Structure 1
Amino acid sequence: MENSTVSFYFNLTMFVNIGHYRYPVFVFCLLLYSFILSANLVIIVVISRERTLHEPMYAFIALLSVNSLYGSTGFFPRFLMDLLSDTHLISRHACFTQIYVIYTYASYEMTILGIIAYDRYVAICHPLHYHRKMNNKTVRKLAALAWICPAFGIMALISLSVWLPLCGNEIQKIFCANWNVVKLSCVNTLVNNIYGLLLTICTVFFPLCYVLYTYLRILMVCWKSSAEFKGKVFQSCLPHVVTFVIYSITGFCDIALSRYNIEEINPFVAVILSLEFVVIPPVLNPLVYGLKLPEIRRHILRLLTWYKIIK
């Protein structure tokens, strides 16, 4: 075992790659964060106010927006401060807190998208049983399951990492990530690796396979249906498919980046790949659902019209 170095701080080294661009990046990211807050809040307010939107699918869409606010707030305030700072040190406590927030945000996103896929599957493949299977009690159970299970899984992951003796404090990222901390360990991390792999399979690949399975079944039903039915299914499912594909790509990029040697990648590209995971889904989710689903779009326009009249 190497001599471990005791440090109460981690150094986020990737901010060096931003260099003189940090002020334009700060302004851009501040505007982006403001848009994420306002757009997702509009989705939440519209769905909560309008009784016609008090249905399972819209409740889960509102959960996606809540999760976007949660993940963005766990990332942007600290990131904006670091952009204007000359030093990029983060305490161990703050680092593991950030890991917990960002990792639970990622897990929640995947589980909620999986639940939306189940909702669409029941609505399209078993329409006569939809209201029985997707009643208020079931919706509450699924929502609780989507939040509670990942929270305990990530908590166990961090518990395995927090006690590791470390031989360094430099994290090659713009935010704290569990694998980057584990790589600093002076001891064998086989247990951390195995548990991390199992957690990734449970929170990423199981929902991924399930979503693919549900849409395969939906396609089989649509294949034998009328053009009008196909149009309704397309309108209902397209936002979810777009959201799921975008999130899967950004999530894969982040996982690949954490396992790859950052020094072999263009610094600017590395920063972009690090940012997209926590930026693109919260930005696109309200746009996709707000613009593609006519029920939400209509109520948003009505809310904006009412606001203009009051103003």
Structure 2
Amino acid sequence: MASHFQEGNSTSSSLSYFILDGYEDVGSLRYFYFLIAAVLYFVIVIVNTFMIVVICVNRSLHEPMYIFLCSLFVNELYGSTGLFPFLLVQILSDIHTVSVSFCFLQIYCLHTYVNIEFCNLAVMSYDRYLAICCPLQYNTRMTCNKAVFFIIAVWLFSFVKFLIPFSLNIRLTFCGNIINSLCCQNYLVAKLACSDPKVNNIFGLFGAVLTILVPLLPILFSYMKILEVCFSGSKQTRQKAVSTCTPHLASLLYFSFGCTFGTLQSRFDMSSVPRELRLILSLYLLIVPPFFNPIMFGLQMSKIRNNLHMSSVIRCWLVKEIKY
């Protein structure tokens, strides 16, 4: 502990690692927690990869809506991979430390994941607006090429946007190295700076506003228009809106909840919330969307359901033919 204390009061010129204070000594239970985390990560990788493959190999799914879904599933793999391998190693470790360079790499990965997710949901809401409110113009206003352009723009914007606050945090001088979390978080690392990170906080707040407002405006616009059409349209139009928008709205709601709690937890005193609940909810964004999104969209979207059914039928037929 003495070496930890000494390094915890050094500057960033000699700081080589951070200590993650969110972990506790749980004895042999850590193998149980490791198994739960490993199974969860395995399921996330399998279901998201499976949905990506289904969309890629079925030509009937080569439409803008499913291209956006494919981007969403790729991002789920990206975000969960930024957490779970690291989490699995930490669960089995006796000393919960992380190198400074890897900590910043994880911060960059997790922040870009959140921004990509929000922006991807925004372009998906715009796609639903065109499909429901402008069905006759949809094929000309939203082509596959335009969908690919939107996806490239979303990923580039997300990777570039975080570079300024990220580069500012890398140059901070730290007078502590204890992070009260299960993984590296940008604001918690900035709080360890020797000087007041005022500029970093300003850029961080500006980045948070961009992360929320840039996607939120097209989302609000799209759903206001969709609601107008639903109230004034036919029963068939309302049914189409409900069937195609329900998974998107559900994904948007629980992702927004995770973002809100993450912001509140890092910037305000949450000591009244039980510690175990705080730790679990701190990982909410990297567990719930990657796990539920492919399952929810896969079950709700009729075309995907039909293709999944056809794939199972073909596999059964092939097995019978091989047996005979």
TM-score category by the smaller chain?
A: over 0.9
Aligned to 2:137, the other structure's residue is in SS state: helix
Query: Separation in 2 of the partners of 1:85 and 1:222?
Result: 54
Corresponding residue for 1:51?
A: 59
- 1:1-311 matches, within 5 Å, as 4=11, 6-16=14-24, 21-261=29-269, 263-307=271-315
Structure with more of its chain in helix, by fraction:
1
Q: Give the 3 Å change call, closer, same or farther, for CA 47–3 of structure 1 in structure 2.
A: closer
Q: Give the 3 Å change call, closer, same or farther, for CA 268–19 of structure 1 in structure 2.
A: farther
Q: Give the 3 Å change call, closer, same or farther, for CA 238–293 of structure 1 in structure 2.
A: same
* Aligned-residue identity in percent: 35
Q: Which structure's CA Rg is the greater one?
A: 2
TM normalised by structure 2 equals 0.91
**RMSD, aligned α-carbons:** 1.8
Aligned length in residues: 310
Q: Is the 8 A contact 2:10 2:175 kept in 1?
A: yes
Q: Report the Cα offset of residue 206 of structure 1.
A: 2.9
Aligned to 1:11, the other structure's residue is in SS state: strand
Query: Separation in 2 of the partners of 1:301 and 1:32?
Result: 25
Unaligned runs of 5+ in 2: 1-8, 320-324
Q: Report the Cα offset of residue 264 of structure 1.
A: 4.6
Q: Is the 8 A contact 1:17 1:267 kept in 2?
A: no
Amino acid at match of 2:125: A
Q: Is the 8 A contact 1:290 1:296 kept in 2?
A: yes
Amino acid at match of 2:300: K
Aligned to 1:128, the other structure's residue is in SS state: coil
TM normalised by structure 1 equals 0.94
Q: Give the 3 Å change call, closer, same or farther, for CA 75–224 of structure 1 in structure 2.
A: same
Aligned to 1:10, the other structure's residue is in SS state: strand
Amino acid at match of 2:225: R
Aligned to 2:162, the other structure's residue is in SS state: helix
Q: Is the 8 A contact 1:239 1:288 kept in 2?
A: yes
Q: Report the Cα offset of residue 239 of structure 1.
A: 0.9
Q: Is the 8 A contact 1:18 1:268 kept in 2?
A: no
State which drifts further: 268-277 or 68-77: 268-277
Query: Separation in 2 of the partners of 1:165 and 1:302?
Result: 58
Unaligned runs of 5+ in 1: none
